[in-house]
Amino acid sequence: MKKLLLIALCLSATTLIAASERGEQLTDEKCTSCHMTSSSSTKLKNGEMGAPPMWGVMKKVKSHFKTKEDGVSFIVDYTMDPSEDKMIFPPAAKEHFGLMPSMKGSVTTEEMKLIAEYLYR
Ligand code: HEC
């Protein structure tokens, strides 16, 4: 019985790690072409920034929402269907960068959840 429990625990830990790795990979594929991360900073030089850097986005999201749950659901909702009235960035961000294009069709909601969870780590 104990052995079974141990196996179950190991399996769920592996699933968690796999989800986080998948989240990182998806973030690299889907977000960093616009949102600079430390791993993409060599790709994007000054002046080539198409969007606020990811750490800036996450700082904003984390200070705006009290719980991780709310922050994650905001990210999923906003990225799938961005609009000016949902923005937590000030209007200047939109004037400077333009509104973020919807990720619909490029990422599934499930994948976006993995991305948001990974960004919130
Ligand atoms: C084609 C460029 C582009 C891609 C790709 C992109 N974004 Fe954005 N994103 C933007 C721009 C521009 C803004 C700033 C304007 C705005 O808020 O809509 C932004 C803003 C945001 C915001 C803040 C929204 C607000 O104003 O409150 C979040 C959160 C965000 N992006 C998450 C993501 C995530 C997660 C991904 C990857 C799945 C991603 N973005 C991919 C361009 C992009």
pLDDT digit string, tens, across residues 9-51: 788 888 888 888 999 999 999 999 999 887 655 555 555 678 9
DSSP string computed for 63-112: HH-SSHHHHHHHHHHHHHS--GGG--S-HHHHHHH-PPPP-BTTB-HHHH
Yes or no: is domain 2-119 CATH 1.10.760? yes
Tokens describing residue 86: 């949902």
State the pLDDT at residue 40. 58
> Residue 116 in contact with residue 54, Cβ under 8 Å?
no
Q: Are 50 and 34 in contact (CB under 8 A)?
A: yes
- pLDDT, one tens digit per residue, over 81-106 is 999 999 999 999 999 999 999 999 99
Residue nearest to atom 29 of ligand 1 (CA): 75
CB 58 within 8 Å of CB 107: no
Asked if residue 113 has pLDDT above 70, the reply is: yes
Cβ of 44 closer than 6 Å to ligand 1, yes or no, is: no
- Which of 35, 49, 85, when mutated, tests ligand 1's pocket best, judged by the most ligand atoms within 8 Å of its CB? 35
Ligand 1 geometric centre to CA of 51 (Å)? 7
The helix or strand, by DSSP H or E, that contains position 2, with its residue range, turns out to be helix 2-30
> Ligand 1 centre and the CA of 17: distance in Å?
25
Question: d(Cα 52, Cα 66) in Å, to the nearest integer?
Answer: 22
Look at residue 111 and tell me whether its pLDDT is greater than 90.
yes
Mean pLDDT, rounded, for 60-67:
97
Query: For residue 50, what pLDDT is reported?
Result: 84
Q: Which residue has the higher pLDDT, 73 or 41?
A: 73
DSSP 47: T
- pTM listed for this prediction: 0.89
Q: Which atom of ligand 1 is the closest one to the Cα of 75?
A: 29
